[in-house]
C-alpha cells in the first residue's frame, strides 16, 4: 500500500546566488548558479520517500530534457511515477530562484505542463494514488485538479493535507475536503487578513480540519481544535539556505502521519527535518535520513 500520494508540480530550478535580491531596475552581479530539481510537489514527494515512506506521484512534465531530469530525480528517490504523464506540447515547469547571502530567497515559477493536468481524467487514470494513507497537495496545481484528487482520495479514507502555497483564495468545496492545512506566515496573513500568527491560525482551523502555521526560525503553531494552540520550537542551527525547507517539512510531516504518528509528534519530526535541511548544502541534503531526524529529536 502507498503511504503518501502527492499530486502536484515539478519544476527544474535555476538557482542564482547574490548578495541580495534585486530591486526594480537593478542589475546585480551574482556569484554562482546551478540547477536543481524542484516544484513543491516533487520536493515533498522526494522528502517523504527519503525519510522512509512509500510514495507515489501524480503530475505532468514536458517532452524535454528538463522533464527527463525531473523524472529521474523522483525515481532515484524511490518514488512511484506510474502516474507521471508527458505532455507533447507544453514544456516542463521551471523556476528561477535568487538566494541571498543570508540564506533567504525569492523565486519566479513558470508552470508549463503542470497546468495541463486534466482534472476530469485523473480520478480514473490515477486509481492507485487514492489508496494512500495521506494525500499531499499544494497550490501549484490547479484548484480543479486538487479538488478532484482530494475527493477521490477522501472517498477511500485518505487523510487530505494541503500546503496552501503559493497563497491564493481557496474555494469552499476544496476546503471542505481538507483534514490538515499547512501555511507559512505570509500565506496565513493573505488568506485571513490577519497579521498576528495566533489569530490567523485560529481563523484557518475549522471543525474537522487542523491547521499548521510555519514560522521558520521561530518554529510553528499547531491548532487541532482539541486544546490551546500548540507552539513547536525550531531547532537552533546555522542556516545555509531556506529554499525548499517548507517542502521538506511537509514531506517529513506526511511521512510520519502515514506511519501512524500523532499530529503533534509529526510536527516535531517535521521541524527537526527542516532544521537539518536548512543547515546543509544541496549536496548534503539528499543524504538526510529518518535516523538523522530521530537523532536530532533526542538531543
Helices 245-258 and 40-50 cross at an angle (nearest 10°) of 50
Catalytic residue among 13, 80, 223, 247: 247
Name the residue among 52, 16, 129, 12 with its Cα closest to residue 288: 52
Q: Are 288 and 247 in contact (CB under 8 A)?
A: no
Cell of 152: 477521490
Sheet architecture: strand order including 105-110: 32-38, 11-17, 93-99, 105-110
Instruction: Give, for 11, the enclosing helix (H) or strand (E).
Output: strand 11-17
For residue 267, give every residue at least 6 positions away whose Cβ sits within 8 Å of its Cβ, in sequence order, or none. 212, 220, 222, 230, 232, 253
Residue 167 class from Cβ within 10 Å (0-12 exposed, 13-18 middle, 19+ buried)?
middle
87 catalytic residue (yes or no):
no
**Distances, alpha carbon 63 to alpha carbons 34, 68, 75, 233, in Å:** 22, 8, 17, 43
Distance CA 195, CA 261 (A): 31
How many angstroms separate the CA atoms of 292 and 209, rounded?
A: 30
Residues catalogued as catalytic:
247
Amino acid at each position: 500500500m502507498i503511504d503518501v500520494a502527492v499530486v502536484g508540480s515539478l519544476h527544474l530550478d535555476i538557482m542564482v546566488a547574490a548578495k541580495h535580491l534585486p530591486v526594480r531596475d537593478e542589475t546585480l552581479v551574482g556569484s554562482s548558479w546551478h540547477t536543481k530539481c524542484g516544484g513543491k510537489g516533487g520536493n515533498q514527494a522526494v522528502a517523504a520517500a527519503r525519510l522512509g515512506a512509500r510514495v507515489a506521484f501524480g503530475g505532468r512534465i514536458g517532452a524535454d530534457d528538463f522533464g527527463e531530469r525531473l523524472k529521474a530525480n523522483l525515481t532515484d528517490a524511490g518514488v512511484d511515477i506510474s502516474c507521471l504523464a508527458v505532455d507533447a506540447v507544453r514544456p516542463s515547469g521551471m523556476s528561477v530562484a535568487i538566494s541571498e547571502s543570508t540564506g533567504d530567497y525569492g523565486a519566479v515559477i513558470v508552470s508549463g505542463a503542470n497546468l495541463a493536468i486534466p482534472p476530469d481524467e485523473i480520478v480514473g487514470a490515477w486509481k492507485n494514488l487514492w489508496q494512500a494513507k495521506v494525500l499531499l497537495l499544494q497550490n501549484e496545481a490547479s484548484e480543479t485538479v486538487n479538488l478532484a484528487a482530494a475527493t477521490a482520495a477522501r472517498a477511500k479514507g485518505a487523510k487530505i493535507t494541503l500546503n496552501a502555497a503559493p497563497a491564493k483564495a481557496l474555494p469552499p468545496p476544496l476546503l471542505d475536503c481538507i483534514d490538515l492545512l499547512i501555511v507559512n506566515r505570509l500565506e496565513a496573513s493573505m488568506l485571513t487578513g490577519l497579521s498576528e500568527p495566533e489569530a490567523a491560525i485560529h481563523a484557518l482551523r475549522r471543525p474537522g480540519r487542523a491547521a499548521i502555521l510555519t514560522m521558520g526560525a521561530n518554529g510553528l503553531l499547531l491548532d487541532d481544535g482539541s486544546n490551546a494552540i500548540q507552539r513547536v520550537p525550531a531547532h537552533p542551527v546555522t542556516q545555509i539556505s531556506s529554499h525548499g525547507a517548507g517542502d521538506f517539512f511537509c514531506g517529513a510531516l506526511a511521512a510520519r502521519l502515514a506511519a501512524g504518528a500523532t499530529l503533534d509528534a509529526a510536527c516535531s519530526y517535521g521541524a527537526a527535518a527542516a532544521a537539518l535541511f536548512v543547515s546543509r548544502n544541496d549536496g548534503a541534503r539528499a543524504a538526510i535520513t529518518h535516523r538523522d531526524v530521530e537523532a536530532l529529536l533526542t538531543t
